Structure formats: C-alpha cells, structure tokens
Structure 1
Amino acid sequence: MKAFASWSGGKDCMLALYRFLKDSENTVECLVNMCDTDAVHSRSHGIDKNWIRKQAKQMEIEVIQPVSDFAGYEKVFKHQISILKERNVEAGIFGDIYLKEHKVWIERVCSEMQIQALFPLWGENTEDLLKEFIGEGFKTILVAIRNDVLDNSWLGQVIDTRFLADIKKLDGVDPCAENGEYHSFVFDGPLFSTALDFTTGATITSGNHNFLHLKQND
C-alpha cells in the first residue's frame, strides 16, 4: 500500500509511520506537514519547518508543507490529498490514539477524498505506546507544553524511562499527551540515517503554551 503520513514531527506520528513501514509491502510517498500562514512554523507543534525538513532528509522521505490558517485547513488539506491521489497514494497514516472527535473528522475528510484513513496506534494504552517508542530506540525532546498543566522544567526533557516514570506521577496528564499536555520533536531513531544535531534556545510563551526554540549547531 502507498500512503502519505500526516506529520507533526512528534513521537506519535513517528511511531505510526514506523509500524506502517514494518510491512515490507507498504511504502510512504511523502510526509504532509501543515504549516502556519507565517510560512515558518509547523501548525501543531510550533517547530520551525526547516527542522521537519531535516527529519525528512534523514529518513529519505519527501516532505510537503502546505500553508493554511485554521479556517482554511480542511480545504488546503483536501487539495493536497487530491494531488497525492494523482501519484497513486491510497491512504493516509495518522498518529491519533483515542480522541474520537478528531478521528471522526479525519475519517470524514478521507472518505470524501476516497482514500483510506489508517490509525496504527488507535485504542492502545498510552503508557505501553511510550514504552514501545522508547524501547525501539527513538529519541525525542519536549518542545512545547501547556503551561496550565506542566511547568517549564518539562521543556527540553528527553522522553526516556525516567521521563515515563515522572509523567505517570502527575494526576490528569496522559503519558503520550493525547490531550495536548505537551508536544515533542523526534531527533533520532531507527528510521534516521544520523541523529539531528541541535542546541536548545529561548522559551517563547503564546497563550497557555510555552515553546522551546531549537538552534542548529555550528
């Protein structure tokens, strides 16, 4: 099956992609990373879109970065799917785990575009998913937090077994942050040829979110 991967740069879309590619008959045509109208940042995680391109390069997968505001998101997303259908793409891969409303939206959009929506992680225990992600050798860093849920000490943390133990101690916080408690950026793992090299910079606050700036090492 030939598919595109809906891409944020974080752990869930990475694990979904990884599982999909374990079937040797599957191929990924490209990553689709929706970007803000400022043309600089990925919509979901606030990451500079150049870092998404670096991920794609390490995986040797093409990345497409359509630009959209919130109101025009569905129209732009559908337009991109229509282009990919001309390249014989049959399905989209999504990293959703249990948010039913978002899954329903994806399924409707994909149905209207006559492609299959795939959810490799759907309905699974989020602690188990995080253990799998860590165990497979992926490396990821927290690049955004909801500051009404987590304090700034969580920004920049690497997701590992210690992180999992600590996050489990917090009431009302999902280990995989399915409710948006945090967002992550994958910088190494079994799909990468080499790890991405970076340093962390300033913290930027926007509403109830804090974002960590990543800088390329010289």
Structure 2
Amino acid sequence: MPAALLSWSGGKDAAWALHVLRQQGTFEVVGLLTTLTEGYDRISMQGIRRDVLYAQANAADVPVLEAWIPPSADNAAYIASFRAALERARSRWPGLTHIAFGDLLLEDVRAWRETLCAELGWTPLFPLFASNTTHLARQMLSAGLKAHLCCVDTTRLDARFAGHPFDAALLDQLPTGIDPCGEHGEFHTCVSAGPMFAAPLTLQPGPPLLRAGRFAYTDFWCLS
C-alpha cells in the first residue's frame, strides 16, 4: 500500500480524513504534518497545545512531523516551513509523494493547495472534498467522534460557543448560514475521541480568551 502524509490540525476534519483514508485502504498514513507557532507551542490557528497534539498522535498511532512558523507569519514563511517539512518527510520515507488534506468545500483553498503541491513535487489528496457538511457532521457524531470548539471567529459566530462540545445540541443551535462543520472559518475544533483513536483523550477546558479582538479561544489540557 502506498504511503501518504496527512495535514493535521488537531480538529475533527483532519481526524475524519484519517478515518476515511484508513477505511478506503488505498493509502497508509505514515505521518501527521502539523504547523505550530513559535513562542506559543501550539498548533497554528486552532491554538491546540503541543502536548495535546502528541496525545492525539499517540492515540492515532501515527508520528508527528512539525512545521514551525513565526507569529503573524506571511504566506512565504508558511510555504518555506511546509517545504522544509515535506523534505524531511521524504528523507524519512523515501519515495513518499502524497499528502492528504481535510478540506471539505472551498474550491479556492483546494486549488491553492494543488498548485503549491505541484510546485513542490507532491500530489494532494482530498478524501472529504465536496461532502454534504450537514450529513458529514451527523455522521461523525454517530461514529463516536468527540470534539470541542477551541476557536470561534466572533465576527461570524457568538463567543458563547467557544468551548462547546461538537455535538447534536451544537448543530441544532447554530444560526442560519453557519456551516455545520465550520468550513468557512466560523469555528475550529479539538478532537478527543473517535474511530481513528485507539483510546479517547481526557481534556480539561480552561476559560475562553479573546485574541486579536476577534477569536475566542478555549484552552484544553490533556489529563490522559
């Protein structure tokens, strides 16, 4: 079976992409490529702690490949870090050519990734793309996926949703126009259980914190 990396954010979509790839049996996911922010020791955008990332990777039985960027990194800095991480991956797994992403709907994001990967000599995979996100959200929950909203864009969704479980009650409460999977950046999640993990994580939430006057983060500590 050919090998592939998976772009790992620590959230539900990346986790579900891992589950789907394993179900399909076409590629073996050998590494989780994760972008972290220097000075914060956290996954970029999601704000998930590095120790939680490694607990997720252990539960998934897949090693982490770290790609570090400075705070407020521009696109060039992200690409340079991404390129370096891919080079390290190919040194570790010679012949590796594929990387999967958990994107769902956004054609412009997919096109950007396709162009970037082509320039770097990689082939992108999009196992969840064009999913019906209403159906997908319910499918995740019925399969036992557990996650919490770790970041809410308060220009799109009320800050009170920060820290809320990603569950049926949340889906029922989301205002009209908010994607059930947060595909338009309304929210990001931190996954703690599901069919992609050998055992669930026990996470302890902290109080919400507003950053940049816009993003409501909820911190999570890993207790097990």
TM-score (ref. length: structure 2): 0.91
Counterpart of 1:78 (choices 75, 78, 83) is 83
Matched, 1:135 2:142: yes
Matched, 1:213 2:216: no
Structure 1 segment 42-121 matched on structure 2, within 5 A? 42-69=43-70, 70-71=73-74, 72-86=77-91, 87=93, 88-121=95-128
The answer (yes or no) to whether the contact 2:164–2:170 under 8 Å persists in 1 is yes
CA apart distance, 1:149 = 2.2
CA apart distance, 1:90 = 2.1
Q: Cα 1:166–1:39, aligned 2, differ >3 Å: closer, same or farther? A: closer
Calculate percent identity across the aligned residue pairs. Answer: 26
1:58-94 Cα offsets, whole Å, 9 max, x none, are: 1111011221132210011012112222313221110
The answer (yes or no) to whether the contact 1:202–1:212 under 8 Å persists in 2 is yes
Matched, 1:204 2:209: yes
Partner of 2:33: 32
Residue identity matched to 1:133: M
SS of aligned partner of 2:29:
strand
CA apart distance, 1:39 = 4.8
In the alignment, the residues of structure 2 paired with residue 29 and residue 215 of structure 1 have an alpha-carbon distance, to the nearest angstrom, of 26
Matched, 1:14 2:15: yes
SS of aligned partner of 2:173:
helix
The answer (yes or no) to whether the contact 1:143–1:185 under 8 Å persists in 2 is yes
In the alignment, the residues of structure 2 paired with residue 215 and residue 123 of structure 1 have an alpha-carbon distance, to the nearest angstrom, of 33
Q: Cα 1:25–1:107, aligned 2, differ >3 Å: closer, same or farther? A: closer
The answer (yes or no) to whether the contact 2:65–2:89 under 8 Å persists in 1 is no
In the alignment, the residues of structure 2 paired with residue 148 and residue 112 of structure 1 have an alpha-carbon distance, to the nearest angstrom, of 34
SS of aligned partner of 2:137:
helix
1:165-206 Cα offsets, whole Å, 9 max, x none, are: 222xx1221111111111101101112122111211122111
SS of aligned partner of 1:185:
strand
The answer (yes or no) to whether the contact 2:12–2:190 under 8 Å persists in 1 is yes
Partner of 2:164: 157
Question: Could you say what the CA RMSD is over the residues aligned between the two structures, in angstroms?
Answer: 1.5
The answer (yes or no) to whether the contact 2:52–2:222 under 8 Å persists in 1 is no
Q: Which runs of 5+ in 1 are unaligned?
A: none
CA apart distance, 1:23 = 2.6
1:40-71 Cα offsets, whole Å, 9 max, x none, are: 11112011121111100111110112211322
